[in-house]
Chain A
Amino acid sequence: MNHTLPKNRSLFDRAIVGPALKAAVLKFDPRLQVRNPVMFVVFVGAIFTTGLWLQALIAGGETSPNFSLAIAGWLWLTLLFANFAEAMAEGRGKAQADTLRQSRRDVQAIKLSSAQRTSKQTTVAASALRKGDYILVSAGETIAGDGDVIEGVAAVDESAITGESAPVIRESGGDRSAVTGGTRVLSDWLVVQISANPGETFLDRMIAMVEGAKRQKTPNEIALNILLTALTIIFLMATATLLPFSIYSVAAVKALDPSSQALPITVTALVALLVCLIPTTIGGLLSAIGIAGMDRMIQANVIAMSGRAVEAAGDVDVLLLDKTGTITLGNRQATNFLPAAGVDIRELADAAQLASLADETPEGRSIVLLANEHYQIGERQAAKLDAEFVAFTAQTRMSGINIAGRQIRKGAVDAIERYLREQQSVLPSDVRANVETIARAGGTPLVVADGKRALGVIQLKDIVKGGMKERFGELRRMGIKTVMITGDNPLTAAAIAAEAGVDDFLAEATPEAKLSLIREYQAGGRLVAMTGDGTNDAPALAQADVAMAMNTGTNAAKEAGNMVDLDSNPTKLIEVVEIGKQLLMTRGALTTFSIANDIAKYFAIIPAAFASTYPVLNKLNIMGLASPESAIISAVIFNALIIVFLIPLALRGVRYRAVAAAQALRSNLLIYGLGGLIVPFIGIKLIDLLLVGLGLV
């Protein structure tokens, strides 16, 4: 399984354009057309003008057959272009889904009768597995479904899902117990309890999402559709009533001048006017914009579980960012030992190393290393010592070692203080002073105690990721507040917060504190985004408006979130917000453009439509279009072609910069509002010149 997700497809990849053209034709199905009220009006108009063309061809009609054929043809093309835009957006997702689907080949699974590896085995198809079943997966086999590891440790190749080729370790218990169906065990074996029925697995949901199969209109899309429909009804009325107005005007002109050749407006011209006035540009591109937004998420290797989540990302005003891994590099480094008064620094270094021997975290390793490098305390093999290791737990928040009657502990200052109190001892004031100095400077102090004696402090230092301060500055300008979440004490947290440039921080955070902070912000009307991976993050993830779970996280976290980051990079939350904003901006920009276009179309069509009734109206033909027929056809052609020209913009999104709302509005209004006013004047004139030049009109 060496295929990975194709990340940067070119916009008009041949593999996508071909099928998209085919899909565009299939989308002429009236049942699909009726879902989009704006384009359905065009659909009906196209049928109507085609009928008029046939009538003109057979029995003679209100216009020449060529004219009604030209109008009818371009109306069908308008629809085709809109269909094509949608098919293009969907096609990119489909290509992605096909890649994913290959990993879902129906595999055989070894089902166990109970959670024991040794229990009775039966071979069943993956599709026969149900939630709660146990399976055994050995090296070289594909995991048949989503589940949690009950027993065993194994290296798993998850590249089918994540595109990341390095294998990951999956083991029972803790936050690395989740496995995904379709991934492959490379070494050893796992007993997995299935957590999703067939069809409901992560892979299934992912395929459905990228394909847009379950795509529902998002709330803002629905609201925008209502506005567009209202505009369509208004213009439908404006053009429909124009027929009686025109008949009345013709009668009025003839009453004054019986020799007048005035004729009422043709129905073909009315349909052309209607289609030009209704917001077809945004109507034709609206669903493509939404699908493309989801697609941009996928390009960023984030799977959004709903379009609603992408939209909400644009609205977020508070980002809760975990300090470790997001703001700082994951690894804190031990940089210094500060012994208590009367304690030799070598004794402290020695005890610190002993207490960290079994600590596999990067912090623990860095302590062992520091003691080794600076104080020449040789690295000891943990397994060879006759000692009992005390693991870190969320309750004690300490780890350490019991060796030769000594009880060495290291941990946060409050944990050690409590430990000393239990031993009827106290923390010396000079140690406390050191702790505070380190914390104030943004370091993390770990206190080492040996029984009743506090030996001193280990200084751990956080390394803030490069460029974060600028990132947070951008977010602030966009009106987004950043909050750092950390288990550190308030002093340390404040220092790192200041160094990283976040707006606020939550120190000594527990899952409960995180949850209540989210609730507090939401009660104040704010939308909160966060990332999480552990099972204890699940309640907060479920509460947050935008919750990005890490793919390495537990199934509970992935279930609770509304998007999953396949790269498991929490910093990406910022990118997600930007994609959400870009999606909304694209919608607004194209709506503005579409409506602004109407002015020019009036100047093209109104003089042409009433040319025989009131020739004087030709004074409004400021574009100097050649003839009434060429004016109407040019406007209709422009209206169709503009959809094609805007497909790349709809798929790629408008240019996004991190600026305040007022500034974003000004620049977008200048480009898409003013541009929308001017572009059609030029476009329609050029098309008219071309039609005349080619002798078509």
Chain B
Amino acid sequence: MISNIIIQIGSFLLVLLACVIPLGRYMAKVYGETPPMQRVFGPIERLIYRLLGIDAKTEMNWKHYAVALLGFNGLGLLLLYGLQRIQVWLPLNPQQLPAISADSAFNTAASFVSNTNWQGYAGETTMSYLTQMLGLTVQNFVSAATGMAVLIGLIRGITRRSSSTIGNFWVDLTRSTLYILLPLALTLSLVLVSQGVVQTFNASQTVELLQPIGNADGQTISQQTIALGPAASQIAIKQLGTNGGGFFNVNSAHPLENPTPLSNLFELLSIVLIPAALCYTFGIMVGDKRQGWAILATMTIILLGFTALAVGAEQAGNPLYQKLGVDDHASALQAGGNMEGKETRFGIVNSALWATVTTAASNGSVNSMHDSYTPLGGLAPMVLMQLGEVVFGGVGSGLYGMLIFAIITVFVAGLMVGRTPEYLGKKIEAFEMKMAALIILIPCVTTLLITAIAVSSDAGKATVFNSGAHGFSEVLYAATSAANNNGSAFAGLGANTPFYNTWLGIAMLVSRFWLIVPTLAIAGGLANKKLIPQSAGTLPTHTPLFVGLLIGVVLIVGALTFIPALALGPIVEHLLMSL
């Protein structure tokens, strides 16, 4: 059993690490002076600039950068909202799906623009093909590209000296999409189609069941409607852009969205591919690859720790079954463990690995139902989100979040070496601390507030389907997911209500954009500073000691806030279960 776990997780990590260097190097070139593959992308890039009247040479200061970003995303929010409200009158709607309600349309628009991709709706029975392609998929690309642009702005802030500008938002957005996301998504779609993922404009198919069955009312069911659609293209970017919004309601647990173990591996890899490779890009851009490796090591170690917790808890099975004399331990005859809510084609390890990877990175797609995990198995994904989505996190946003944590770590540790703190040669002063404090504060406060509002209001309590501590966990999980822009759902909570649509929608927008602005402010502040040369008196930020310290700060700042809440949810549930 142990060797099975090590082989599955080990091979995933090996393939991931093998991709990090080439992709990381490629991305560093994309954001440099002379982007690669000019013959292919150059003319398209220049055409885009010409059509939109963008002067690629103009540099922006952080405020202009932020205004451009907010304007672009605000427009995206309005367009996506409008598209959902009028989809019934638009083409590519073979099922004649009706317009979406105002609160759900707002929630979905906020969700996809903020790279959260929380889905309050059921994909195949709500959204027309046009809405999925023109609305959701487009946001899947540009919300990811927005995150990458912010990260590149921050890295420029770190590397530039005494500069007032941090780059051009339009150029960073265009290049992220054109040079990185589009080619990767195209490749992955083709690979997924080869595995059996559907890609069609045809309407749903009705098929005769091979074995008719009876339903609860005693009627015989002999037909099934199989939902279809242009799924592969959306799934590719949903994974690569850490979006996570599935084409089908059950996401990557659906056989037409994730049919084989191989498609599972590719989809799993593509969740963390860009966030991991961006660490290497960061190393190259700051001129010290060790800095990138240190950040990547930090993320990997935290991920592995929580994966071990989830796999261990799920493999250990359900103590309540064991009390009834049901043996669910691994043996020669069975794989064992808690298989409830998991697909047999993936098993415990690949389900639990996916659960932790998708919540570490702010993806949120699922291949198993987290609500059915054991309490500790469900705690792992929840805590990973509560850490602020900095363990891989969203494309771009995960790394810029982690860099903010590095700044806070340097602040405390730097003092302990007897100097005022600096990170990569830039002094960390009151302004940076103020912005960094906002960045760690906002998701924590939003999560706790939304949970508190939900469990104190009748509208919030009305759609909690489970009783006791588990019901509390469901609400906490939903608030955590929205307020950290993950989008993973615990299920078991009826979230498509005006109450949850509105509050979670607000949480998603607040956590995305209220964090982006201070991040860009830090970028602008750092760009303005002088570069302090390294010496023996400088705190090294690439050593195992620093990695350990960074892990400690991420866990303490992230987890300490939520320990009381977790104690009333999964922790007490676990203790009650094993009584």
- B467 & A585 in contact (Cβ 8 Å cutoff): no
CB distance from B185 to the nearest CB of A (A): 38
In whole angstroms, how far apart are the Cα atoms of A669 and B543 in the complex? Answer: 14
A253 to B573, CA, bound (A): 12
Residue B576 is within 8 A (CB to CB) of chain A in the complex: yes
Interface 1/0 per residue, A246-274 and B, CB below 8 Å = 11110011011000000000000000010
Task: Let me know if B575 and A226 touch, CB within 8 A.
Answer: no
State in angstroms the CA–CA spacing of A336 and B73 once bound together.
Answer: 82
| Chain A residues positioned under 8 Å from B513 (CB to CB) | none
Instruction: Return chain B residues, CB-CB under 8 Å to A582.
Output: 418
Interface check B126, CB cutoff 8 A: no
Determine the residue in chain B with the shortest Cβ distance to A583: B418
Q: How far is the CA of A273 from the CA of B539 in the complex (A)?
A: 34
Q: Looking across the interface, which residue of chain B has its beta carbon closest to that of A521?
A: B533
Does A563 count as interface, using CB distance less than 8 angstroms? Answer: no
Residue A695 CB within 8 A of the other chain: no
In the complex with contacts A230-B440, A606-B564, A616-B576, A672-B416 CB distance below 8 A: yes
Say yes or no for A542: interface residue by CB 8 A criterion.
no
Proximity bits, A221-264, B CB within 8 Å = 1, else 0: 01110110111011101111110111111001101100000000
Q: Are B545 and A239 in contact (CB-based, < 8 A)?
A: no
Closest CB-CB distance, A314 to chain B, in whole Å?
A: 5
Residues of B within 8 A of A469 (CB): none
B291 contacts the other chain (CB 8 A): no
Per-residue CB contact flags for chain B residues 424-455 toward chain A (1 = under 8 Å, else 0) read 01001110111011101100110011011001
**Chain A's interface: helix, strand, loop or mixed, by majority?**
helix
Q: Is B535 an interface residue (CB 8 A)?
A: yes
Interface flag for B396 (CB, 8 Å): no
Q: How many of chain A's residues touch chain B, expressed as a range? A: 35 or more
**Chain B proximity of A404: nearest CB distance (Å):** 60
A606 to B568 alpha-carbon distance, docked (Å): 10
B451 touches A241 (CB 8 A): yes
Q: A315-B419, A588-B416, A614-B568 are in contact. Are A525 and B531 (CB under 8 A)?
A: yes
B326 within 8 A of A: no
A587 within 8 A of B: yes
Given that A230-B441, A233-B445, A661-B538 are contacting pairs, would A248 and B472 also be in contact in the complex, using a CB cutoff of 8 Å?
yes
Provide the residues of chain B in CB contact with A524, threshold 8 Å. 533
Q: In the assembled complex, how far is the CB of residue A529 from the closest CB belonging to chain B, in whole angstroms?
A: 13
Chain B residues, CB < 8 A from A598: 556, 560
- Contact in complex: A584, B418 (CB < 8 Å): yes
- Min CB distance, B420 to chain A, in Å? 5
Is B536 in contact with A477, judged by CB distance below 8 angstroms? yes
A485 within 8 A of B: no
- A602 near B540 with CB under 8 A, answer no
| In the complex, chain A residues 557-597 whose Cβ is within 8 Å of any chain B Cβ | 580-582, 584-585, 587-589, 591-592, 595-596
Known: A525-B531, A602-B563. A237 touches B444 (CB 8 A): yes
Contacts of B425 in A (CB 8 A): 525
* Measured CA separation A284–B563 after assembly (Å): 25
CB distance from B231 to the nearest CB of A (A): 39
In the bound complex, what is the Cα–Cα distance between A244 and B448 (angstroms)?
10
**Which residues of chain B have C-beta atoms less than 8 A from A375's C-beta?**
none
A648 to chain B minimum Cβ distance, whole angstroms, is: 19
Q: Which residues of B contact A73 (CB under 8 A)?
A: none
Measured between alpha carbons, how far is A677 from B576 in the docked complex, in Å? Answer: 28
Question: From A222, which residue of chain B is reached at the shortest CB distance?
Answer: B430
- CA–CA, A651 and B333, complex, Å: 67
A248 & B537 in contact (Cβ 8 Å cutoff): no
Residue ID in chain A nearest B562 by CB atoms = A238
Q: Are A219 and B429 in contact (CB under 8 A)?
A: yes
- 30 A–B pairs (Cβ distance < 8 Å), ordered by A: A219-B420, A219-B429, A220-B421, A220-B429, A223-B429, A234-B441, A234-B445, A235-B560, A237-B445, A238-B560, A238-B565, A241-B449, A244-B452, A244-B456, A249-B469, A252-B471, A255-B467, A256-B467, A273-B564, A311-B420, A480-B535, A587-B415, A609-B564, A614-B469, A617-B567, A661-B417, A661-B537, A662-B540, A665-B413, A668-B417
